[in-house]
Amino acid sequence: MRKLNLPEYDFRYRTEDGISKVLDVYRKRFVVLTPEEEVRQRFARYLVEEKGYPAALILTEYALTLNKMSRRCDILVHKPAGSPAVLVECKAPEVKITQAVFDQAARYNLVFKVKYLMVTNGLKHYCCEIDFETEKVSFLKEIPAYEAI
């Protein structure tokens, strides 16, 4: 694993036909270990291990339909009642976090209408809170703990 602005965690790996794979415990299968997948896996673990998010309420690569097109959001966190609460868009470390990345997360949020949007490339992490009543977006100084959402 490369140097990211995330803690190091132990993962299960294997190689199939010369391709490195990592066990995604949320999808319950081995997936190809791309730079973006590394960020996704480590950020999901960060949410669980450091911020108290219940692993059972995290979905990775969650399918959605937007404008009749199939898409996948990187991480979707639910509240215990089942409603989505947090949407995370992950990029590879070499991908800069730009307005286009935030726009992608915002488009996905047209489907889920979560209060918290997070964007990360493993080096920089951003979190914003959306107030749907006032239609205001506030950037938070840090990723909130699960009990705060």
- Contact (CB, 8 A) for 18 and 5: no
6, part of any domain: no
77, part of any domain: yes
64, part of any domain: yes
CATH code of the domain covering residue 120: 3.90.1570.30
How confident is the model at residue 1, as a pLDDT?
60
Q: Is the dihedral of CA 20, 100, 55, 77 positive or negative?
A: negative
- pTM for the structure as a whole: 0.93
- The 10s digit of each residue's pLDDT in 4-52 is 999 999 999 999 999 999 999 999 999 999 999 999 999 999 999 999 9
36, part of any domain: yes
Q: What is the edge-to-edge ordering of all strands in the sheet holding 84-90?
A: 58-66, 69-78, 84-90, 116-120, 125-131, 136-139
5, part of any domain: no
How confident is the model at residue 31, as a pLDDT?
97
88, with CB counted inside 10 A (0-12, 13-18, 19+), is buried
List CB contacts of 133: < 8 A, sequence separation 6 or more: none
The count of domains in the chain is 1
Which residue's entry shows tokens 């059972």? 56
**Which domain range does residue 29 map to?**
13-148
136, part of any domain: yes
Q: Is the dihedral of CA 145, 146, 147, 149 positive or negative?
A: positive
- The 10s digit of each residue's pLDDT in 105-141 is 999 998 999 999 999 999 999 999 999 999 899 999 9
How confident is the model at residue 68, as a pLDDT?
84
How confident is the model at residue 24, as a pLDDT?
96
pLDDT band at 79 (very low <50, low <70, confident <90, very high): very high
3, part of any domain: no
133, part of any domain: yes
How confident is the model at residue 66, as a pLDDT?
81
